[in-house]
Each structure stands twice: as structure tokens, then as C-alpha cells.
Amino acid sequence: MAEAIFEVFRGDREGGQPATYRVPIAPGMVVLDALHHIQAHQAPDLAVRWNCKAGKCGSCSAEVNGRPRLTCKTRMDALPLDKPITVQPMKAFPVIKDLVTDVSWNYRVNKKIPPFEPRPGTDWKIYQEDVDRAQEFRKCIECFLCQDVCHVLREHEEMEQFAGPRFFVRVAALEMHPLDSKSRTRMLKEELGIGLCNITKCCTEVCPEEIHITDNAIIPLKERVVDEFYDPVLMLVRKIRGEK
């Protein structure tokens, strides 16, 4: 039976190194199947997160051959098998053990974002064309691959100043909800650091839900920030009124 060779990171906060495993290949196999095979036959303590195994829950994120991916959707027959397949934890987050990282920072950022606030007196009539626009952002499965790949977080570790693509998608979902009445523009500028994004589109490339993160979420939100805070006419009005 054909085999694949895996080099899987084994280690914890203190450090670690790749360990080599040989795994028999079955038709249609994905990388997560191989990791399960390793757990069942070679390393029962190999730490991996997973749930649905169908690309719906966003639990099994890792870096396969250096690329951030859902391991449940990474087909082995799409990878070169003449050299070892490397599987590493997401680099942007601290390792807990093996492929499991500490993603709790994301949950803390999420908590800062003001929730949906319906317009007073709405009759809850919403039309499909208005829903369509916001639904794209609501597809997000919180795999955090976009956070992992984003330079601002991955290389510059600006976690204090920058919320990352996932949360621009979340803000976009709220701001583009047809009945939402709250503005999060000031927050985008001052707390979530949207200005730090230099629209390289890396996040869009890795999104397993194919959300157009940069074009449909981040750029329109940046435009809102510009309109509200950098429009010369409005700036003048604010200055005359003595507002900030």
C-alpha cells in the first residue's frame, strides 16, 4: 500500500521539533485522516483539534507544507508525496501542544465588538437582496486562518492594536445588517486598528469559506473610516464646532 511520510510538530510552549510518521494512503484521504491514523496507531497523545470533519466548524486549522489550511479539507492527492508533508501549528498563536494553539486572544477581541442593535420601531421586514450582502460575512467559521496568515499579527504581533481580518469580517456582518442601528466606525479606527491593514489580500487567499475579506469587508470599512474621519469638509465642520 502506498504510504505518505509526515513530519508533524511535536512540542509545547517550551519548544519542540517535527516527528516523522508513515501513514498508509487511502482514496480521497485528507490530512486530518492521516493525523487520526497517527493518533490511533503511533502517537495517542498527539494533540489535534477537530470537530465536524467537513469544513463547517473551523477547528482543525494548521499549516500544511507551510500553508495555513483546514486539515479536514486538505486532500492528500493534491500534495506532492515524493517528499515529507509537514504539519505545523498556526504560527501567529502560542503553541499549547503539538498542533493545538492558544486562540483565546480572538475571543477577547470579539467581546469588545458591540452587538447588533436593531433600529427602534422596525417591523422586521427584510428583503433577500439586503440579506445577501451581509450573509457572505456570516459564513465565517472562525478557523482563524486569516488571522494566522496576516502579517500584522503573524510577523509584527500587533495584537494590542489590531483586531485582524476575522473581526473586520464580523464588524462588516454587523454594519451591513439591514436593520442594525449602531456605528462601529470610530472603534474600527481607534481600537481595532483597521488602518494597519495594507490590503495584501493574504487573508482572502486562505479563507476556506471563500469570503472576499479584503474587497468586500475591509476596503468598504476603511472607506467608512475615511468618510467619517478624513473627509475634508467634515473635518472643517468638526474643527469649527470644536469637536475632535
Partner 1 sequence: MTTEYETHEHDVLIIGAGGAGLRAALGALAQGARVGVVCKSLLGKAHTVMAEGGIAAAMANVDTADDWRTHFRDTMRGGKLLNNWRMAQIHAQEAPERVRELEQWGALFDRTEDGQILQRAFGGHTFRRLCHVGDRTGLEMIRTLQDRGVQLGIDVYMECTISRLLKDGDRVAGAFGYWREQGRFVVFRAKSIVMATGGIGKAWKITSNSWEYTGDGMALAYGAGAELMDMEFVQFHPTGMVWPPGVQGILVTEAVRGEGGVLRNKLGQRFMEKYDPKKLDLSTRDVVARAIYTEVREGRGTEHGGAYLDISQKPADYVKKKLPSMYHQFKELADVDITKGPMEVGPTCHYMMGGIRVDAETAKSSVSGLFAAGEAAAGLHGANRLGGNSLSDLLVFGRRAGMAAAEHANHVSTTALDSGQIEEAAREMLAPFERDAGESPYTVHRDLQETMQNLVGIFRNKEDLIRALEELEKLKERAGRVSVEGSRLFNPGWHLAQDLKAMLTVSEAVTRSALAREESRGAHSRIDHPGLDATWGTKNNVIVREGSAMMLRQSAVPELPGDLKQLVAEEK
Give the chain's largest Cα–Cα span.
Answer: 78
Q: Shortest distance, CB of residue 158 to partner 1, whole angstroms?
A: 23
Q: What 3-state class would DSSP assign to 24?
A: strand
Question: Which span (16-24, 38-46, 149-157, 219-227) binds partner 1, by CB under 8 A?
Answer: 38-46
Asked if 118 interacts with partner 1 (CB under 8 A), we say: yes
Asked if 44 interacts with partner 1 (CB under 8 A), we say: yes
CB closer to partner 1, 63 vs 136: 136
Instruction: Tell me if 90 sits within 8 A of 62, measured CB to CB.
Output: yes
Residue whose cell numbers read 479584503: 214
Q: Shortest distance, CB of residue 179 to partner 1, whole angstroms?
A: 9
Asked if 69 interacts with partner 1 (CB under 8 A), we say: no
Q: Shortest distance, CB of residue 68 to partner 1, whole angstroms?
A: 16
> What is the DSSP secondary-structure string of 167-233?
HHHHHHHHHTSTTB----HHHHHHTS-GGG-----HHHHH-TT---IIIIIIHHHHHHHIIIII-HH
Q: Shortest distance, CB of residue 154 to partner 1, whole angstroms?
A: 20
- 11 strand-pairing partners: 16
Question: Which span (81-89, 99-107, 197-205, 221-229) binds partner 1, by CB under 8 A?
Answer: 99-107
Instruction: Tell me if 48 sits within 8 A of 99, measured CB to CB.
Output: yes
Torsion sign across C-alpha atoms 226, 228, 229, 232: positive
Asked if 45 interacts with partner 1 (CB under 8 A), we say: yes
Asked if 54 interacts with partner 1 (CB under 8 A), we say: yes
Q: Per-residue string for binding with partner 1, 164-203, x by CB under 8 A?
A: ----------x--x--x-----------------------
The Cα 220–Cα 40 span in angstroms is 47
Question: Which span (96-104, 184-192, 197-205, 214-222) binds partner 1, by CB under 8 A?
Answer: 96-104
**Going by DSSP bridges, is the β-strand pair 95-97/85-88 parallel, antiparallel, or unpaired?**
unpaired
DSSP state of 152: H
Give the residues lining the site for partner 1 (CB under 8 A). Answer: 12, 26-30, 33, 39-41, 44-59, 73, 75, 96-98, 100, 102-104, 107, 110-111, 115-116, 118, 124-128, 131, 134-135, 138-139, 141-142, 174, 177, 180
